[in-house]
Amino acid sequence: MSPAPLTVTWGLVAVLIVIALTLRIRTWLRLRHIPGPPIAGITEFWLLRKTLSGRCHIDLLEACKKYGSLVRIGPNHLITDDPEVLRRMSAVRSPYRRSIWYDGLRLEHDYFNVVSERDENRHNDLRAKMAAGYAGKENEALEESINANVANLVRLLESKYLSIDKEYKPVDFALKSQYFTLDVISSIAFGKAFGDLDADDDVSSLIQTSEETLPMIVLLGAFPFLANVFFAYPFKLLLPSDKDTVGLGKLIGIAKEVAAQRFGPNKKVKKDMIGSFVRHGLTEREIRGEILMQIFAGSDTSAAAIRATLLYIITNPHVQSILLKEISDTSISSPITDAEARKLPYLQAVIKEGLRIHPPATGLMLKEVPPGGDMVNGVFVPGGTGIGWSTYGLMRNVKIWGDDADVFRPERWFEGTAEEIRKKEIDVDLAFGYGKYQCLGKNVASLELNKVFVELLRNFEFTVVNPAEPWKSFNAGLWIHHNMGLRVTKREPKL
């Protein structure tokens, strides 16, 4: 090659390098007045490395402790643990919008579900059509379906995992709790449980699929522009298909089959969650996409809340004894009804404290600052900046919860004036999101939590197999828990 073309080539390379550096410097300058880890203002790799470590929730908490309630964690990314800011961003009439971060939450290349949809009009339309189904207003058997699955969980533990003096049968409760939540969401969504509890197995490989999919979601969340590449031609040809017999493709096939049953000349008409969606105008394609989202988001988060809260109960003898006394001293049904559970003050305090100490979803959920910019805690933030949630930081913030914020102590929910207690309840409710982005499954999750602890504790005594490492835990915005070994014995007399 002659010198002239080489000179031109190297010249172009130099120009591209200069342009890239200029753009990066301009990006850094926009938010240079907001503190954070120095490298985070230059590259997304700080956030990616922390996320892939499985403990990003702790790193973000520590960043808020070190730098304040508004922290820079990326070239265009901030986080906050301030509940007032979080509520303002997600309020119904807020000018904030979902950022590009949500593009990575797609489970199919051609469909944005209610969790990943960034178009405000379509998002609001989806929520409006789905709200009644999630609230249970059109599902007469909602509570009965949850009761049946709670009974199945009790039956499974009693039939296969009871230990006695001469027989030791440890149970991995991490798995069993997710069998329970998968059976709940499938039974109330389309009228038939997957059957994980009956089979004592991940019969459709949904747990395996979820755990395999989460790392990719983590990557696309840190580098959301990759989502548009990943889901585009020709890469989309390599994506899971409904013809697959394993993994996400198998789950897509299940969702497609279930959705198809509700349309056409021989359609099934049921008074379940999907039946409500159909009556309110969701299309077959939309229902297929929302079923996928339900299974991923609904089962993972509820299972995480159940595991964590039960672990904190059984490792705090003081808490467990008070809760058991409340259960035994109160005339309640078997299984306990939702109405009865809401009247048990210590149970409600335990549930709230479980959501606080171990929030089931800790993803960034970045919202985009409106074009004109905004003042956040006295600091100007330019338009287009993404501000995310440090949910774990919020729930461990000593300014809100006191010096013992790291302690599981349900008694905090009885301390202070009525107004102060109500403020704490509003803050912990942020575990479910807020306003126009609040989790649609909150009602279902509350029903599960109101029932499962009472029924487990009135039937069984639990001992942690390995107190030094009660489980193996990885956080990817959602929790992956393994090896939660418990020794289960029959509680005598039954409460």
Domain boundaries, the chain: 89-374+433-490
**pLDDT at 178 exceeding the cut of 80:** yes
* Residue 439 marked as a ligand binder: yes
β-strands 374-376, 379-381: how paired? antiparallel
Judged by DSSP in three states, 253 sits in helix
Contacts (Cβ under 8 Å, ≥6 apart) of 30: 76, 382, 385
Residue of 222, 211, 221 whose CA lies nearest to 248: 211
Quote the pLDDT of residue 397. 97
Handedness of CA 159, 165, 168, 173 (dihedral sign): positive
Q: Is 184 or 17 the better-scoring residue by pLDDT? A: 184
Specify the pLDDT at position 23: 56
What is the number of other CB atoms lying within 10 angstroms of the CB of residue 292?
A: 20
pTM: 0.92
E strands within 21-122? 70-74, 77-80, 97-98
Residue 461, classed as helix, strand or coil, is strand
Instruction: Give percent above pLDDT 70 in the chain.
Output: 91
For residue 97, list its beta bridge partners: 368
Please name the helix (run of DSSP H) or strand (run of DSSP E) that holds residue 487, with its range, or none: strand 485-490
Task: Name the CATH superfamily, with its identifier, for domain 89-374+433-490.
Answer: Cytochrome P450 (1.10.630.10)
**What pLDDT, on the 0 to 100 scale, is given for residue 238?**
58
Task: Mention every residue, 6+ apart, whose C-beta is less than 8 A from residue 136.
Answer: 142, 143, 188, 443, 444, 447
- Is the pLDDT reported for residue 55 higher than 80? yes
For tokens 């000018």, name the residue.
95
Binning pLDDT at 50, 70 and 90, where does residue 104 land?
A: confident
Q: Which residue has 């549930």 as its token pair?
A: 351
User: Alpha-carbon distance 491 to 404, whole Å?
Assistant: 32
pLDDT at 28: 62
| pLDDT at residue 18 tops 60 | no
Backbone angles phi, psi at 241, to 5 degrees: -120, 155
Q: Binning pLDDT at 50, 70 and 90, where does residue 82 land?
A: very high
**In this predicted model, which residue has the larger pLDDT, 65 or 108?**
65
How much is the average pLDDT of 39-55?
89
How much of the chain, in percent, has pLDDT values that exceed 90? 67
The confidence band for 236, taking pLDDT boundaries of 50, 70 and 90, is: low
